[in-house]
A = this chain, B = another copy of it.
Amino acid sequence: MRSKRRINGFQPGVRAELVMIGTEMLLGEIIDTNAARIAERLAGAGIHVYFKTTVGDNWTRIAAALSQALTRADVVITSGGLGPTDDDLTREVVAAVLGRRLVEHPEAMRQVEAWFQRQNRPMSPSNRKQALVPEGSEIIPNRRGTAPGIIARRGEQAVICLPGVPHELEAMMDETVLPFLVRNFSPSGRLWSRVLKFYGIGESALAELLQDLLTMDNPTVATYAGNGEVRVRITARAADEVGARELLEPVERDIRNRAGEFLYGTGDDTLESAAGRALKAAGWTLAVAESCTGGLIGSRITSVPGSSDYFAGGAVAYSNRAKVDLLGVPAGLLDQYGAVSEPVARAMAVGAAQRLGAHVGLAVTGIAGPGGGTADKPVGLVYIGLAVGGEAEVRRYQFAGDRDRVRWLTSQAALDLVRRRAEAGAQGLGISPGA
């Protein structure tokens, strides 16, 4: 849900167009995620994207798309077609459209060679092509792959060529392209935004709480839902950071007053990083016992750098034997109540904390589907247990969706429980590990 005034309210500024190159996108074989990566960064820098054109690996059609973009835009950004093979045509077409020769760029060649050295891989002759650029271009270093990018200027315009590999493109946008654009195409006012992240409230309920804010002009407020959580983005147009803060902060405070109960973080925070921060603040360690999620919660927690400070480890207790052997769940409980039950979730949580000497034990057991459901215990039924200082509480959830969705929503709920408990803990409750 967004205010439709959000764009119309702004003055015209620098115009950008995107040209995405790759036949596989036109065959539906891959989803283009790069365009969103580029576009959100440009939006953040106050640069508008007016058109995005996707073409296959075809000389004529790439040239047509590029030529047309140059009739309308200040900045044209391409993605894809910088590889070493015959159908990687971007550098040739850009040179032709700009009327330049293609020349070997010595620093680009050095970077291509260095990349192969770092990877301990032989460089094939075809990779020499990756150091070719339209005469007079600058290159964009690529820490994560072979092909450097290209910045080719023509008068006031710039054509920027990036590879199609997402993690390469992302780093190059952040490290080189955005600073270049801000230096050379700085719009009069920039967009500054702040993202607030919520768990435990639906998008429409949150939008109702914020209803009057969603129609404001500057800053604008918009809600987005996805992956079992809701984000609110506050965007202000201002000349500098001080001006932006004056616009953003009162609105953020207002939103926190209305919905703070569900707010878990801001910006790049995730439920795993928020839970980690709360554990660290409380001085607590966490152990997990996962059944239906099979390691997903541990994987999310350890995706955060530095998580070894507060994460003790855990058990992927997929089988009953693992629940007994690794966590000390009494076999009798499993027989009497079944693996997906409140008493077993409790015993798993307590067992994980004890076995690993952790302050907090988190356990999940449930039926992710598609098979395994019964009338009593349908697919999507999940118990989540949390043991802190010898006391364990267990909650029962009924999630809807396929296997992946049930597992994901389980991990969301579990991480939020840990976060809330550790935040409360950081405010004073003393406990000892593994009690």
Residues of A at the B interface (CB closer than 8 Å) are 1-4, 6-8, 23-33, 35-43, 48-58, 61, 65, 68, 83-88, 118-121, 124, 126, 144, 165, 167, 202, 204, 207, 222, 224, 226, 233, 287-288, 290, 292-303, 305-308, 311-319, 321-322, 325-326, 355-357, 368-371, 398, 400-405, 407
Contact = CB atoms under 8 A, between A and B. Distances in A.
A54 to B, nearest CB: 4
Contacts of A87: 1-4
A295 B314 contact: yes
A155 to B, nearest CB: 23
A56 B61 contact: no
A302 B121 CA distance: 34
A366 B264 CA distance: 31
Nearest to A127: B204
Given A369-B305, A402-B167, A25 B4 contact: no
B25 A6 contact: no
Contacts of A25: 35-36, 39, 52
A222 B404 CA distance: 30
Given A26-B52, A38-B28, A85 B207 contact: yes
A388 B370 CA distance: 31
Assembly stoichiometry (copies): 2
A46 to B, nearest CB: 12
Nearest to A83: B1
Nearest to A285: B319
A267 B294 CA distance: 24
A412 to B, nearest CB: 14
A22 to B, nearest CB: 9
A144 B401 contact: yes
Contacts of A301: 294-295
Contacts of A124: 204
Nearest to A401: B144
Contacts of A26: 39, 48-52
B312 A308 contact: no
A108 B299 CA distance: 40
Contacts of A296: 295, 299
A7 B305 contact: no
A62 B314 CA distance: 50
A368 B302 CA distance: 10
A208 B390 CA distance: 61
A394 B314 CA distance: 23
Contacts of A356: 319, 321-322, 325-326
A31 B28 contact: no
Nearest to A195: B29
A28 B2 contact: no
Nearest to A191: B27
